[in-house]
A = this chain, B = another copy of it.
Amino acid sequence: MSAPVRLGLVGAGRIGRIHAGSVTQIPDVELVAVADSDEAAAASVAGESGARAVSVDELLADSALRGVLIATPTEFHAAQIGQAANAGKVIFCEKPIALDMQVARCCVFEAARSEVPLMIGFNRRFDPSFRRLREAIDGGRIGDVELVQITSRDPAPPPLSYIERSGGLFRDMAIHDFDMLRFLIGEEIVEVAAMGTAAIDPAIGNAGDVDTATVMLRSSGGRLALVSNSRRACYGYDQRIEVHGSGGMVSAGNPVATTVELAGREGFMTDPLGHFFMERYADAYRQEIETFCAVVRGEEVDYPDGWDGLAALAVADAATESLATGRMVAVSDVSGP
């Protein structure tokens, strides 16, 4: 039996706590240290996981620690990726790598130069239903892919303070869908058109962002895709994909918490959807961290890496540009040389 994988966590907020929880469920993996500028948060998460609360420097200086999970706000990713790469740690970083493409590129290059794997937190790739979509596509079950439709709606908008620092809906939210699209069809996105509106809250519009958006995309192989996003769905977290091919269609819908159906005079009623990503992607988050552990162990596994992070960000940049200019945008025009 191999020695346990020892991990550190930087960032003890909502998503950091989810990752810490995943680690405790995986055999032969230990969370040994947690760092956060909010020391109480770090102590709380550390306490639940049997880890120590430390500073980022201490965490990275611990030579027993082979991998680090970066779950801080996006603005800290670049510096922490650089530091972790220099310390020779295998890195898991939440999406997006950075809001600025040049900065994100530097991160990826730095990890490459340090020869440490950099995995990006595109958790949806690990959802059992979405994985099955890709298996069906790769297995030729629907022939050549022609058109993909992704619906992705949050239950309710985040606080305005979050939105203001988020880089906008496309970099913060739709980036998951752009990555999913690349994951499913195995091609790059070359052209993007986006429309958007602040239909839910004018304050979001005043902050320069939209809360409701549609994106139309074309891949290098000429496949088409539609993405629809909203920051609000009162019936719950709505995450659906359908993929049309020359030989059929494969789709994945929303899982339900119970199979209870109530029939009455008004009709048949089933449950609303689960509230949000913590419930919906619970399995996916655990699989994601299991995969990261395999990366740390040096196993050959498929995972979203820094180049995937850059590619999705480039699509998000193109969508942002399209929204701002009212023009269709070639991804190569925004992603630069």
**Is there contact, CB below 8 Å, between B199 and A146?**
yes
A262 within 8 A of B: yes
| Distance, CA A265 to CA B232, complexed state (A) | 12
| Distance, CA A227 to CA B216, complexed state (A) | 10
Q: Which of A69-77, A252-260, A307-315 contacts B (4 or more CB under 8 A)?
A: A252-260
A187-220 residues with Cβ-Cβ distance < 8 A to B are 191, 193, 195-197, 199-200, 212-216, 218
| Chain B residues within an 8 Å CB radius of A261 | 250-253
| Distance, CA A260 to CA B258, complexed state (A) | 17
| Chain B residues within an 8 Å CB radius of A226 | 149, 214, 216, 226, 228
Tally of this chain's copies: 4
**Is there contact, CB below 8 Å, between B191 and A268?**
no
| Chain B residues within an 8 Å CB radius of A335 | none
**Complex: chain B residue closest to A250, CB-CB:** B262
| Distance, CA A268 to CA B259, complexed state (A) | 12
Least CB distance from A263 to B in Å reads 4
A14 within 8 A of B: no
**Is there contact, CB below 8 Å, between A244 and B233?**
yes
| Chain B residues within an 8 Å CB radius of A196 | 224
Contact A193 B216, CB 8 Å, known A128-B258, A133-B260 = yes
Least CB distance from A332 to B in Å reads 14
Least CB distance from A324 to B in Å reads 12
| Chain B residues within an 8 Å CB radius of A262 | 136, 141-142, 248-250
A63 within 8 A of B: no
| Chain B residues within an 8 Å CB radius of A216 | 193, 195, 214-216, 226
**Is there contact, CB below 8 Å, between A271 and B268?**
yes
**Is there contact, CB below 8 Å, between A235 and B147?**
no
| Distance, CA A267 to CA B234, complexed state (A) | 9
| Distance, CA A251 to CA B269, complexed state (A) | 11
**Is there contact, CB below 8 Å, between A224 and B253?**
no
A4 within 8 A of B: no
A272 within 8 A of B: yes
**Is there contact, CB below 8 Å, between A249 and B269?**
no
**Is there contact, CB below 8 Å, between A250 and B255?**
no
A151 within 8 A of B: yes
Kindly identify which residue among B128, B197, B212, B224 contacts A257, using a CB–CB cutoff of 8 Å. Answer: B128
| Distance, CA A256 to CA B129, complexed state (A) | 10
A300 within 8 A of B: no
A37 within 8 A of B: no
**Is there contact, CB below 8 Å, between A235 and B264?**
yes
| Chain B residues within an 8 Å CB radius of A258 | 128-129, 132, 252
Select the residue from A25, A228, A257 with max chain B CB neighbours within 10 A: A228
A328 within 8 A of B: yes
A165 within 8 A of B: no
| Chain B residues within an 8 Å CB radius of A256 | 255
| Distance, CA A332 to CA B228, complexed state (A) | 25
- 11 residue pairs A–B, Cβ–Cβ below 8 Å: A128-B257, A136-B262, A147-B214, A153-B244, A195-B218, A196-B224, A199-B246, A214-B225, A233-B244, A252-B261, A254-B259
Top-10 shortest CB links A-B: A235-B263, A248-B264, A129-B258, A253-B259, A249-B263, A193-B193, A132-B260, A146-B199, A267-B272, A216-B216
